[in-house]
Chains A and B, each alone.
Chain A
């Protein structure tokens, strides 16, 4: 009997030790649960920034309005404006689940490369995905008067105010060789201007896998570039009617759909 009691007490002791050992372990990898989540409490966080360059083809745009560079299809272009919104940013964890970065809208503008994505759970990730543009709720918002409000940018409005038309998701302007064979002289460089917006042109970009690690209390950069020349693939520039999209109604055109369809393919890792 005494022997049995000793064995029972030993069994209980080992069970308690085992239980403490299991619960004492730190979580193995990402602290967030496997399903899509935006919770951030009591999880080690690091800072994530995208270092985003503006390119045309393989050339970085350095001098807006001045540089003559070539698209990937060999057409001469000079950009004077290249801006776009990025929102609904999701980080893909190593197990394929997603972390949605809350409340982040970025506006890529000329000559600025770093864009703060925000504080995110520390851990190992394999990719990033995001939308170019604004979701339907944000697209209905009236901007504040603060210069820091990313929506308070008249260059991204269709008219003199942001509403009721919503925002331009992409604004690209410049001059482009309009010759049929893309071998035109400077005389054949004509002005173009495209403001792409509306909910139907809200496009997701899914980047390929490229692992990165966010370390607690440190900053990690994701180095990418946006090829604004890629947006113009498939456009017949010899047709002078194809040089302008300025209004919401024009965003229903085949031309706008052609440009919008190029959005998911314009981003690359540097």
Chain B
């Protein structure tokens, strides 16, 4: 009966994700730069061929360096949210449990924190 009771429990399926600030503290910059920190992240994970690049980008969102900022910051688009970064499409996509971006594998916690911090710092084109 004891053994049966143990197997009656099921695991909680939710992944509680919070940026691991303590782990990234020595690495995360004080001031996050779009060109220096976010663009390289997009180049490595987002605007590769067949994804958010070219004439027909995925989700009609082109994240190539020349246009990424204008697309992300387009008024009314919701891609970035400097008041509540968690509600932005960009942040929610990289932490999503069901449809994560990039689909090839979740970003590391420090990259996720970088995106969050950039929006907290008003998401500038710096």
Contact = CB atoms under 8 A, between A and B. Distances in A.
Interface of A: 14-15, 17-18, 21-22, 24-26, 28-29, 44, 47, 49, 51, 53, 60, 111-114, 116, 122-124, 211-213, 215-221, 223, 270
Contacts of A216: 14, 16
Interface residues of B, number: 31
Contact of A213 (B12, B16, B98): B98
Main secondary structure of the interface of B (DSSP, over half): loop
Interface string B59-97: 110000000000000011110000000110101110111
A224 B27 CA distance: 37
Contacts of A47: 86-87
Contacts of B12: 26
B8 interface: yes
A218 B5 contact: no
A47 B5 CA distance: 34
27 contacts: A14-B1, A15-B1, A18-B2, A18-B4, A18-B5, A21-B2, A21-B5, A21-B8, A22-B5, A22-B9, A26-B9, A28-B13, A47-B86, A49-B92, A123-B14, A124-B13, A211-B98, A212-B98, A212-B99, A213-B14, A215-B14, A219-B86, A219-B87, A219-B91, A220-B92, A221-B89, A221-B96
B34 to A, nearest CB: 21
B6 interface: yes
B15 A113 contact: no
Contacts of B86: 47, 218-219
| Nearest 7 A/B pairs, CB to CB | A114-B78, A21-B5, A213-B98, A25-B9, A28-B10, A213-B97, A18-B5
Given A17-B5, A49-B87, A216-B16, A112 B76 contact: yes
Given A14-B1, A25-B8, A219-B86, 11 more contacts: A18-B2, A18-B5, A21-B9, A26-B10, A44-B14, A49-B92, A51-B78, A122-B14, A123-B14, A213-B98, A220-B96
A24 B8 CA distance: 10
Contacts of B25: none
Interface in B6-29: 6, 8-10, 12-17
A145 to B, nearest CB: 24
B78 A113 contact: yes
B109 to A, nearest CB: 14
A221 B98 contact: no
Nearest to B92: A219
A113 B17 CA distance: 25
B108 to A, nearest CB: 17
B4 to A, nearest CB: 7
Nearest to B86: A219
A124 B98 contact: yes
Nearest to A223: B59
Contacts of A212: 98-99
A18 B4 CA distance: 8
Contacts of B60: 53, 60, 270
Nearest to B8: A22
Nearest to B60: A60
Contacts of B97: 213, 215, 218, 220
A44 to B, nearest CB: 7
